[in-house]
Amino acid sequence: MKNIVILISGGGSNMAAIVRTARQDGWRQRYGAQVAAVISNKDSAGGLAFAREQGIATEVVDHKQHATREAFDAQLAAAIDSHQPALVVLAGFMRILTPGFVERYAGRLLNIHPSLLPAFPGLHTHQRAIDAGCKLAGATVHQVTAELDHGPILAQAAVPVLAGDTADTLAARVLSQEHLVYPRAIADLLSKI
Ligand code: GRF
């Protein structure tokens, strides 16, 4: 079985979209794949309850309980590795990862970023797109490399920036596309590994 481990920090709507798509599209039969675990760095992450309801193993590895990034990443890696993952999927996981962690999962570590990379890496992407006068915004699924929000692009989805958009209205439009493009990109990868 190709195990997928999803890392979240918050609401987990991308994680939920992946779980729902996996079930609806029969990833188990089609790709021999399953979402094996959802791991959060915050016990308050809303997505944990959804994962539990779905019967998926959940775990919290609290970054505040670790003195260094390296110590946190080591604990996180141990939690991930207990599920022998084929893919590690970052879905709103708001921690910067150490190069050692990224190296450990090289080629099987994915992220979604809410901009059309290479534009607007980092935070506040929607406001920055509005401020720059962009007519298109969107989201990018990419392989994770040591440099934040870089790495080979696997898929993108674009949406229009509309007159009167705020960061919130644009974020909502982008997020609805994230829920489509991320599961699709993962399924595409699963069909090849
Ligand atoms: C998404 O916009 C994702 O692209 C970004 O953080 C947000 C997470 O949303 N990295 P959710 O937790 O998946 O609902």
pLDDT at 55: 97
Closest ligand 1 atom, residue 9 Cα:
12
In testing the pocket of ligand 1, which one of 7, 48, 112, 120 has its CB within 8 Å of the most ligand atoms?
112
pLDDT tens column, 52-98: 999 999 999 999 999 999 999 999 999 999 999 999 999 999 999 99
Distance 92 CA to ligand 1 centre (A): 4
User: How distant is the alpha carbon of residue 116 from its chain centre?
Assistant: 15
pLDDT at 130: 98
Domain boundaries, position 10:
2-190
Of the pLDDT bands very low, low, confident and very high (cuts 50, 70, 90), residue 132 is very high
Closest ligand 1 atom, residue 93 Cα:
10
Of the pLDDT bands very low, low, confident and very high (cuts 50, 70, 90), residue 118 is very high
Q: Name the domain count of the chain.
A: 1
pLDDT at 142: 98
Rounded mean pLDDT, 178-192: 98
* pTM, to two decimals: 0.97
| Per-chain mean pLDDT for the chain | 97
pLDDT at 74: 96
Of the pLDDT bands very low, low, confident and very high (cuts 50, 70, 90), residue 137 is very high
Distance 170 CA to ligand 1 centre (A): 13
pLDDT at 30: 98
Residue owning the nearest CA to atom 7 of ligand 1:
92
pLDDT tens column, 39-65: 999 999 999 999 999 999 999 999 999
pLDDT at 145: 95
Distance 64 CA to ligand 1 centre (A): 21
Active site residues: 113
Residue 76 belongs to a domain with what CATH number? 3.40.50.170
pLDDT at 3: 98
